Structures are given as C-alpha cells and as structure tokens.
Structure 1
Amino acid sequence: MDLDAVVTRVQASLGGLKAVGVSVDMEAAIGGAVPLPCAFVLPLNEVSTDQDRLSRVQQRVTQGFGVILVVSNKRDAKGAAALSDLKALRTALKNNLVGWVPDATNGEPVHHRSGRLLNLDGNARLWWIDEFELVTYWSQ
C-alpha cells in the first residue's frame, strides 16, 4: 500500500493540522513530542484471497490502514473541547477518504471500517484512530 498517497490526501483535506506523518511504532509516537493537532498514517493489515486461476495468479487484496488524529485536551478537564475538535477533523477526514480511489486501474473506493479512542495521555492529548479499507487486485 502506498501510504505516501494517503498522507498527501490527508494533508490536502485537513489543512489545520500542524503535521502529518507515517508511523509504524505507535509506542514511540505516543511517547514523543508532537505538534497539535497532528495525524499519523499507518498500515494495519492485508488479507488476500486464494488464487482462483491455474495459469495466471490473480488475487483480491484487502488492505487496511489507519489515520490517527491527535488533538489537545488542555482547554477543559472533561475533554469536551477536544471532542469538538476531533469531530471536525474526523468529518473532514472521512469526507476526503471515503469513496476515494487511489488507483482507478487497480482498485476500488476506500471505505471507513471503524473508529475508536486509542489514548488520553498524561500530556493532555487525545489519540483517536479511524480505520479504513481498500481493495486492490494483484496479478502475476
């Protein structure tokens, strides 16, 4: 999966972010200093179907990726302001990723699979992940 294309799309759709990056080590990201608000794009999984032809390999490949949004929770102790900021970012994110086809010659539209709270850390940061899925086709 070309995560650079996803990063470019996230940067274009969420102009208010201070940074957008790729991460495969979330422990390091959560423990580090990050400018707020920001986003991380990461690969989640890949599942391929069995080969259905004897002479030529062709498989349907479902690829999952996540976009982690990080917002500040310093404005109020209960997190209402952070949730409001998060809602706006999530809406813009889904509006720009759901239905997008990164490669129209070899894939289907991206769809949203789920979202969940990852962490509310001691540095007053709220970490949320939205998970997306993309189907492509691989042939040999």
Structure 2
Amino acid sequence: MTDRRDNGGTDDLEAALRGAGLRITRQRRVILAILAGGDDHPDALALFRRAARQDPSISLSTVYRTMKVLEERGAIQRHTFEGGPARFEPADGVHHDHLIDLDSGEVIEFRSERIEKLQDEIARELGYEIVSHRLELYGRRRK
C-alpha cells in the first residue's frame, strides 16, 4: 500500500538521526536506505541481514540502536504483532491498518473508509474523539 521507495524517506530518517545528535555513518546510511526503500515491515534481524549483505561491517547492535533512536524521534513505527518480534516501518505514510497472515507472517497494509467512519461514530457515541488508533487483524487464507 505505502510505497516508500524515494529519497525523501531516507532524508527524513537521516534528519531524525541528526536531530538526536547522531552522525550519519556509512552503516547507518545503508540501514536507512533499506528501511525507506522497502515495502514490508522488517524486524531488526531482517534489517541486519539485508544490511550486512551490502556492508559486512554492520553489527546487529548498530541496527538496534538506530531503530531505537528513530522510534524515539517518531520517525518510525514499531509494531509488535502477536507471536512475533518487533517490526518496523517509517512513520511518514498515510494512516493504514494491518492484516497479519498467521501462517506466513506476512503483513498486509490496507485502508478502509468504512472502518474509519465506524470507529469515529463509535467514539462519538461514547463521548470521545479518537486521537490515534491501530487496527490489527489476524487471519488465515481461506481454503
């Protein structure tokens, strides 16, 4: 759903690291390019493996530290989908929800105006205004 394959995504992530006082090293630049250029929700180990193919000097701890700072700066979203490791995606996209395939672990992004309207209606009926929300659906492909 969200295509982040542009330099703007990398620039935004770099700006977040600079804002935290970190230098943009060659290793971090590789990690950011993978994160910004992907259309999936990789965990830290998947990011590390992809990055290490491009630069074997990258350590898993560099990936973890980079993700922690990006999350603290609000540049990425961390998702802990049921039964799996924390996964990441840039926070620069349009709001969307997730469907997680329980058999493959695939994360499918989707957006439904009907669901958004229903959530607003429910909140309003209960006397609330939605500030933020996440919707995660877990399922298996029909046979």
The structure richer in helix per residue is 2
Q: TM (normalized to structure 2)?
A: 0.33
The structure richer in strand per residue is 1
Q: TM (normalized to structure 1)?
A: 0.34
